Amino acid sequence: MHLKVWRWALVYFFGMSSAFQPLSEVAPEALFEYLGRAGNSAELVRWKYFDERFNRGRERGYVWVNNNKIGGFIGLIPFQVAFADHTVDAAWSCDWSVQDSTGRGTGILLIREAMRKYPLLTQLGGNHATQRIISRMAAITVNDAGMVFHLPLRIGAILRLARRRYPGFPVDALPVINRWPLRWPHRPKEQPRVIIEPGVSEVLVDMLVPTRHGAIYSRYDLGYLRWQLTDCPFVAAETFYVPGPVGPRAAALVWRQVNSPEFWRMAIWLGMAAAAEMDAVLTKVISHVFEQKGFLLSIVVSRMETDLIGLLRKRHFLAAPRRRPLHIISAQKTGDPVPELWPLSYLDTDFAYRF
């Protein structure tokens, strides 16, 4: 008998009120209440887990119900991992937690439930407790996989960081000081033309398969990007690209919080032999963020993207000291090593809206 059937049989015959359920069988209000305890609004949870245009019948999470109340949860963001000759269904894990103190070991069981649906579970970052558990289950863990680069444009970027460390000392209280430039954007005389379009442009379809990638890489579609950045009610995005004869030569998605022009993020796509075009896109993005009164522009990249890292350093982006670990859990125990997934970006897992 299937394990899930056994669980429900125990509930029926012995009166146990503890069970695992897919999120598709759970009332949205129950998840609103559970994630609301951690400060998530119903609007955020509705977009994140109950957008049927993105879900398309795919399972978005699993819950542990104890005494008719959600006591634990793992959220899933479906995508595909591309190998050399095939693709595999996968999911980024997010919002993984157990709030019910009686649920010892439930977190691992939630992961096992998720792996019945997705052969690969991936995680980028996470707190120390999460990483400790995941690393024991993972087929591969790369502790320094994800690099975060920042470009400070105004003194407000530094003052906001100071306030996080010293909350009682409002060093960023004066707006005029926050807006003092740290550097003026580079303005070359001649560069390829860069086009800016609102939202996630259709032109990105031609660039979604990265020209530089590992033995495995994320296969995203336009629907994934639009769910992350256009459908999300908390961010505003734009597409920057240099047009070519058969599609963009280089492109970037750039976004910020809807109600704040201060902190910006981006993800970029670089065509073959298109360093000049990518430099032009970066120049335009930096100039645009500066003109919009932005404080800081940030990007996540894989440690394996050496050409891109070199370009970012050339444009004075600074690497954050702490890197983001990558974990991949595989349902198939073949004994073969699982390769490192790259490239990486803020579009992986649920980083895009988390400023």
Q: What are the boundaries of each domain within the chain?
A: 3-118, 146-321
Q: Among 3.20.20.100, 3.40.640.10, 3.30.360.10, 3.40.630.30, name the CATH number for the domain at 146-321.
A: 3.40.630.30
CA dihedral 283, 288, 293, 298 (to 10 degrees): -60
| pLDDT surpasses 70 at 237 | yes
Q: What band does 174 get if pLDDT is binned at 50, 70 and 90? A: low
How confident is the model over 132-164, as pLDDT tens digits?
899 999 999 999 999 999 999 999 888 877 777
- d(C-alpha 18, C-alpha 63), whole Å: 11
> Residue 164 — φ and ψ, nearest 5°?
-65, -35
Query: 311: pLDDT confidence band, cut at 50, 70 and 90?
Result: very high
Query: Is 4 a residue whose pLDDT tops 60?
Result: no
Q: Counting runs of H as helices and runs of E as strands, what totals does the chain give?
A: 11, 14
Amino acid at 241: Y
Long-range contacts formed by 209-215: CB under 8 A, 24+ apart: 209/82, 210/269, 210/343, 211/270, 211/271, 211/272, 212/270, 212/305, 212/307, 212/343, 213/82, 213/342, 213/343, 214/302, 214/304, 214/339, 214/340, 214/341, 214/342, 214/343, 215/83, 215/84, 215/339, 215/340
Mean pLDDT of 204-229: 96
CATH for 3-118 (3.40.630.30, 3.20.20.80, 2.40.110.10, 1.10.357.10): 3.40.630.30
Q: Dmax over Cα atoms in the chain, in whole Å?
A: 78
pLDDT band of 176, cuts 50, 70, 90: confident
H or E segment and range at residue 280: helix 275-291
How far, rounded to the nearest angstrom, does the alpha carbon of residue 230 sit from its chain's CA centroid? Answer: 14
Q: What is the pLDDT, as a whole number, of residue 6? A: 42
Average pLDDT over residues 236-258: 95
User: Does the pLDDT of residue 171 top 80, yes or no?
Assistant: no
Exposure string over 153-178, b if 16+ CB within 10 A, otherwise e: bbbbbebbeeeeeeeeeebbeeeeeb
SS3 114: helix
The pLDDT-based confidence of 9 (bands split at 50, 70, 90) is very low
Residue 297 contacts residue 316 (beta carbons within 8 Å): no
Mean pLDDT across 1-10: 43
At residue 285, the pLDDT reads 97
* pLDDT tens-digit map of 76-134: 999 999 999 999 999 999 999 999 989 889 999 999 999 999 999 999 998 888 888 99
Does residue 234 surpass a pLDDT of 70? yes
Average pLDDT of the chain? 91
Going by pLDDT thresholds of 50, 70 and 90, the confidence category of residue 12 is very low
- Measured CA distances, 351 to 98, 103, 148, 346 (Å): 21, 27, 12, 5
Quick check: do 3-118 and 146-321 share a fold?
yes
In terms of Cα–Cα distance, which of 230, 240, 208, 355 is closest to 296? 355
Give percent of the chain with pLDDT exceeding 90: 76
Q: How confident is the model at residue 271 (pLDDT cuts 50, 70, 90)?
A: confident
Strand partners, 318: 150
Q: Which residue has the higher pLDDT, 169 or 158?
A: 158
Give the Cα separation of 340 and 321 in Å (integer).
Answer: 21
Residue 141: CB atoms within 10 A of its CB come to 19
pLDDT of residue 3: 45
Pick from 211, 239, 242: which is nearest to 307 by CA?
211
- CB burial of residue 65 (10 Å; 0-12, 13-18, 19+): buried
Residues paired with residue 46 on neighbouring β-strands, in sequence order: none
Question: Would you state the pLDDT for residue 5?
Answer: 43
Between residues 324 and 159, the one the model is more confident about: 324
Pairing of strands 296-302, 263-270: parallel
What pLDDT shows up at residue 243?
93
Residue-level pLDDT at 8: 42
* 61-75 mean pLDDT: 96
Residue 11: its pLDDT value, please? Answer: 41
pLDDT at residue 325, rounded to an integer: 97
Per the CB < 8 A criterion, the answer to whether 87 and 61 are in contact is no
Tokens 């940030």 belong to residue: 298
> Taken in order 66, 41, 344, 324, is the CA torsion positive or negative?
negative
